[in-house]
Amino acid sequence: CGIFGIWGHPKAAELTYYGLHAMQHRGQDGAGLVVNNGKRLLSHKGLGLVNDVFSFAEFSQLSGNVAIGHVRSATEGSQVYENVQPLLFQSQIQSMALANNGNLMNADRLQSELEHKGSILQTSSDTEVVAHLMKQRSMEVNETAIADALNQTSGAYGFLILTDDKLYAAVDPNGIRPLSIGRLGDAYVVASESCAFDQIGAVFERDVLPGELVTISDDGLQSSRFAMRGQRRMCAMEYVYLSRPDSDVNAVNVHASRKQMGKELASEAPAAADIVVGVPDSSISAAIGFAEESGLPYEMGIIKNRYVGRTFIQPSQELREQGVKMKLAPVRGMVEGKKVVMIDDSIVRGTTCKRIVQMLKHAGASEVHVRIASPTIQHPCFYGIDMSTYDELIAANYSLDQIRSMIGADSVSFLSVTGLEKSIIKDKTIHQGICAACMTGYYPVTTDSTNSGNTGS
Ligand code: 5GP
Ligand code: SF4
Ligand code: MG
């Protein structure tokens, strides 16, 4: 998911729309915003893409200086209107709206505790749990109530909370999910990804720190800490796949890190081939790096139909497979008779790779050597990225050689965890650490619900 907030700009809702549009890749199942028009909080949201949701929005009726917004990537079974964020709670005492990017691992238990105390929850979203926890603590939502609520949760998150007179932003104590602060003139902007700042002409100022609670109001920006700040463990998948190449995540440019992953991969697992081909869009950076390091020419061997969205986020396997076919096509003249190194950023279920190897071979490639610019994903993510069961992870269930034969490649190699770390962490004092739990099984945060898995820590 992606979140966006703005404080102190007369076109708050429109800028939120632009910011969300820049972060469309973070979630395609729903989008919405809540604006404070000075008297009330007003909401506009819906299922689907940002442009679909906002094509009928009357921005003249969404006037106000403060807004928050959300793009949602839904997990299976949760694609209903009620779950589209921001969640808005109107109240005579104090209205509020919440938007969250991440996952609370103990949400089910918290929800059942709340229900036993008489709360009625209207959504199946974790975010609503936090709203109730805050209201239980005090009638008025303030720093203390927010800190108290967040401290009852465990997981990974970036939260935006809008009340009648304040905008709060918080990041989980391990800083697994990204959230940055920017300035647009006198206005404050908060976004999951810095590409949203560039979109609206805002300037990046700093990241929200792990365990930090930022309060923005007419008095400016105040910072407090709701939890002991751990070492930052930014989600490695933000670099591998999730973020846009032009974004800087935790002070590292995403394109640069991907290119370095490609270079590391070329030196770890070279291939005797004629050309290097990347799977558009997310693997192009790594393919360029691989080509540069190996000295092989980079070629456009696969093109993408730009009118098809991200295939991974489709909720069922049939839709995903159909999606890959609609989305990608080989450039026959480029690959015919050639030995091809095919770079993809990651393998989750193996759907994409299998189809593309087939595609390249049908188009006449004599050999296809698959090189994956991230380590094998063998463990589920409990922190908000939709890779949630062992069953669906091909690398959790099959050996390297089995994977090779399942995807029909002549050879396959993955980047090492060390190669991944080297590509992201340039300076340990600045970038600290990463979460790579889905690849290593070492989970920076654990709770009852992860104990069924291989949890490491
Ligand atoms: P697979 O097809 O193996 O199930 O998934 C891997 C492919 O999906 C890659 O091409 C990657 O670019 C894309 N993808 C889309 N969303 C995600 C995501 O959230 N995580 C990962 N690792 N890959 C994703
Ligand atoms: Fe990111 Fe993987 Fe960690 Fe989930 S487990 S937060 S996808 S690195
Ligand atoms: Mg891809």
Q: For residue range 64-84, what is the model confidence (pLDDT) as tens digits?
A: 999 999 999 987 668 889 999
- Averaged over 220-229, what is the pLDDT? 93
- Pick the residue with more confidence: 297 or 93? 297
The closest of 181, 184, 226, 228 to 207, measured between CA atoms, is 181
List strand residue ranges (DSSP E) for 106-251, in order. Answer: 155-163, 167-171, 180-184, 187-191, 203-207, 212-217, 220-225, 233-235, 248-249
Q: Which residues surround ligand 3, an ion (CB under 5 A)?
A: 279, 282
Burial 417-429, CB ≥16 within 10 A → b, else e: bebbbbbbbeeee
Task: Give the range among 289-298, 320-329, 362-371, 422-431 with minimum mean pLDDT.
Answer: 320-329
- Quote the CA–CA distance of 132 and 134 in Å, as a whole number: 5
- Give ligand 2 pocket residues (Cβ under 6 A): 156, 176, 235-237, 381, 383, 385, 435-438
Ligand nearest to the CA of 25: 1
The residue whose CB lies within 8 Å of the most ligand 1 atoms, and thus the one to mutate among 282, 312, 314, 404, is 312
Per-residue model confidence (pLDDT) at position 343? 98
What's the gap in Å between 346 CA and the centre of ligand 3?
7
Q: Is the CATH code 3.30.1490.270 the one for domain 2-230? A: no
Atom in ligand 2 nearest the alpha carbon of residue 238: 1
- Quote the CA–CA distance of 71 and 49 in Å, as a whole number: 8
- Give ligand 1 pocket residues (Cβ under 6 A): 237, 241-242, 279, 282, 310, 312, 344-353, 385
Catalytic residue numbers, as ranges = 1
Q: What is the DSSP string of 35-63?
A: EE-SS-EEEEEEES-HHHHHTT--GGGG-
For residue 441, the tally of other CB atoms under 10 A from its CB is: 15
Per-residue model confidence (pLDDT) at position 27? 94
Per-residue model confidence (pLDDT) at position 455? 27
Ligand nearest to the CA of 347: 1
- The answer to whether the CB of 66 falls within 8 A of the CB of 36 is yes
- Residue 116 makes CB contacts below 8 A (sequence gap 6+) with none
Domain residue extents for the chain: 2-230, 238-450
The closest of 340, 336, 330 to 371, measured between CA atoms, is 340
Q: What is the ipTM of this complex?
A: 0.95
Q: Reply yes or no on whether the pLDDT at 166 is more than 90.
A: yes
- Averaged over 237-260, what is the pLDDT? 97
**Across the chain, what does the average pLDDT equal?**
92
Per-residue model confidence (pLDDT) at position 315? 60
Q: Does the annotation flag 381 for ligand binding?
A: yes
Residue 450 banded pLDDT, cuts 50, 70, 90: very low
The closest of 354, 334, 343, 357 to 274, measured between CA atoms, is 334
Atom in ligand 1 nearest the alpha carbon of residue 352: 2
The closest of 356, 377, 351 to 440, measured between CA atoms, is 377
- Quote the CA–CA distance of 164 and 220 in Å, as a whole number: 15
Neighbour-count burial of 231, counting CB atoms closer than 10 A to its CB (0-12 exposed, 13-18 middle, 19+ buried): exposed
- Paired tokens of 302: 């696969």
- Averaged over 238-253, what is the pLDDT? 97
- Averaged over 245-268, what is the pLDDT? 98
**pTM for this model (two decimals):** 0.94
Atom in ligand 2 nearest the alpha carbon of residue 236: 8
CATH of domain 238-450: 3.40.50.2020
For residue 307, the tally of other CB atoms under 10 A from its CB is: 7
